[in-house]
Structure 1
Amino acid sequence: MEKPFTSVWTRESRPAKSPGLSRDQIVRAAMEILDAEGVDALSMRRLGAKLGSGATSIYWHIAHKDELMELVMDEVYGKVPLPDPEVTGWEDMVSILAYGLRTTLSEHPWVIPLIGTRPSLGPRAMDLSYRMQKAFERAGFAGPMLDYTLSVVLAFVLGWTGPEIAWRATRERSGLTGEEMDAAMRETVHRAARDYPEVVKRYDEHPVQDPEIVQALAFDFGLTCILDGLRTRLAAGQDDNRRFTAPPSTAENDESAKNMM
């Protein structure tokens, strides 16, 4: 039976054929293409042309494009700076992760659709998870809450940053400034929401603003809500662990029943 998932991180990397390419060189070149032109522009042929090398040299290190995407994803995770969890409180760790990841995703927007398509098993992703887990453990998070806390923070940042980046790209394609786009949107909102005067009234109460500043302030608000919620859950302690513990799977129940017979 074919394995449902294999990873570049589960096999040893091959040494470079002197004076051939190294895996690091390949990853750096792939990142340059992705940052400049996006995922659709990246192919093994294009990568080979950029490196001035044939596909054989690339395939010596990387079996296929899926492995390459694992490598570049981990490279992105490595750009999120996190301090030592032994000397940094969990709330500061969450804030540093959230702001750092938001910045990193904005610099490498192509990675957002890839997250979740494959497990993040690289050393940089593992280090990020370890540091956050350590910070949460030191604070007193345990059981299911220990697993859920990081997932909640990551989901917030990813869910926020994806639309933010998409709208920024739309604005850049329009050639308008942020304030000009905001003003143009107001006219459209007035026409589209004419049957909802309360919506129009609320929209008109806000002056034309730089959307980058508005987005930053709204992100701050969202992160503050996340931190407030996690503090409450931490105070609830074991009651929350019982509340959010999933029941055993049907397969596990069936196996337990067999063992009792």
Structure 2
Amino acid sequence: MPRDSLTREQIVRTAVELLDEEGLDGLNMRNLGKRLNAAATAVYWHVKNKDDLLLLAGDRVWDEIEFADPDALGWRDAATALAVGLHAMFERHPWLVQAFGSHLFYGEGKARYDDHCLAVYESGGFTGAQADRAAAAVFTYVLGNVLGASATVSLTMRLTRGGKDAEAVMRDTMEKAAEVAARFPRLRARLDAPAAADYAGAPEETFEYGLRALLNGIEAERAGVPS
């Protein structure tokens, strides 16, 4: 594809697809050019470098989150819907979670989401720094909740590229982790339970439970209820 027929939108959309399939390690101008049927040099006419491309791709995916209307739902349900939408977006794009550790993301997509978050909390009576803290606390909780799944996706990609059986490596690792956990009484009791889950697995509805507890605490603090 000639450079004059490429658009930034095409490049960014294709970069997101590449990142979803191959992770951060798979993003480079050569791989991207192949997908676009264009020379890598043609991409540089639209983006400065790989970091610039990652920044654009990272901002684009924020537009996937549907904005809940606090006037129609109430601030609690709207805040919950936003957090669930953010969690789902991170799960679809685990590379973004990983990239937060080494890149500073900004752009209209993220700013639009952040602005709506503040509007949701302000509709619930949070003002100034209260709204800032509430939005930041929920964002941090969601990000932390998806870190494990994101790391698993990244590790699986890396093992597969290295020619290893990712499933076998994961299974062996969990068996070793369970052996260590069995030395401790409370962990051993859970491992020995008839319906025991994988040692590294979280109980069902953990995200929902934590989000509900966090919003309860935020609401109580706003109302001046002693903790």
Shorter-chain TM-score bucket reads 0.7 to 0.9
1:54 CA displacement: 2.4
The structure-2 alpha-carbon separation of the partners of 1:176 and 1:116, relative to structure 1 and needing over 3 Å to count, comes to closer
Moved more, 50-59 or 226-235: 50-59
Q: SS in structure 2 opposite 1:83?
A: coil
Asked if 2 retains the 8 angstrom alpha-carbon contact of 1:84 and 1:131, the reply is no
Structure of greater Rg: 1
Alignment partners' CA distance in 1, 2:138 and 2:32: 34
Aligned partner letter, 1:70 = L
Q: SS in structure 2 opposite 1:236?
A: coil
- Asked if residue 225 in structure 1 is aligned to residue 213 in structure 2, the reply is yes
Deviations 1:160-197 (A, max 9, x none): 111133346778922699xxx6xx957853x4245433
- Who is 2:116 aligned against? 131
1:94 CA displacement: 2.0
Alignment partners' CA distance in 1, 2:129 and 2:50: 35
- Asked if residue 142 in structure 1 is aligned to residue 127 in structure 2, the reply is yes
Asked if 1 retains the 8 angstrom alpha-carbon contact of 2:95 and 2:154, the reply is no
- Who is 1:156 aligned against? 141
- Who is 1:196 aligned against? 184
Moved more, 93-102 or 115-124: 115-124
Q: Determine which of 70, 77, 88 is the counterpart of 2:55.
A: 70
Asked if 1 retains the 8 angstrom alpha-carbon contact of 2:3 and 2:38, the reply is no
Q: Determine which of 19, 25, 32 is the counterpart of 1:40.
A: 25
Moved more, 140-149 or 202-211: 202-211
The structure-2 alpha-carbon separation of the partners of 1:194 and 1:104, relative to structure 1 and needing over 3 Å to count, comes to closer
The structure-2 alpha-carbon separation of the partners of 1:213 and 1:89, relative to structure 1 and needing over 3 Å to count, comes to farther
1:5-154 alignment to 2 at 5 Å? 19-115=4-100, 117-154=102-139
Asked if 2 retains the 8 angstrom alpha-carbon contact of 1:90 and 1:136, the reply is yes
Aligned partner letter, 1:174 = E
The structure-2 alpha-carbon separation of the partners of 1:23 and 1:215, relative to structure 1 and needing over 3 Å to count, comes to farther
- Who is 1:6 aligned against? none
Q: SS in structure 1 opposite 2:64?
A: coil
Query: What's the TM-score, normalizing by structure 2?
Result: 0.80
- Who is 1:173 aligned against? 166
1:85 CA displacement: 3.7
The structure-2 alpha-carbon separation of the partners of 1:206 and 1:223, relative to structure 1 and needing over 3 Å to count, comes to farther
Aligned partner letter, 1:226 = L
Asked if 2 retains the 8 angstrom alpha-carbon contact of 1:93 and 1:132, the reply is no
Give structure 2 stretches of 5+ with no counterpart: 157-164
1:97 CA displacement: 1.9
Alignment partners' CA distance in 2, 1:162 and 1:174: 19
Q: SS in structure 2 opposite 1:98?
A: helix
Aligned partner letter, 1:77 = W
Alignment partners' CA distance in 1, 2:27 and 2:176: 39
Q: SS in structure 2 opposite 1:156?
A: helix
Alignment partners' CA distance in 1, 2:199 and 2:9: 38
Alignment partners' CA distance in 1, 2:183 and 2:201: 30
Aligned partner letter, 1:28 = R
Alignment partners' CA distance in 2, 1:213 and 1:185: 10
1:72 CA displacement: 0.6
Query: What's the TM-score, normalizing by structure 1?
Result: 0.71
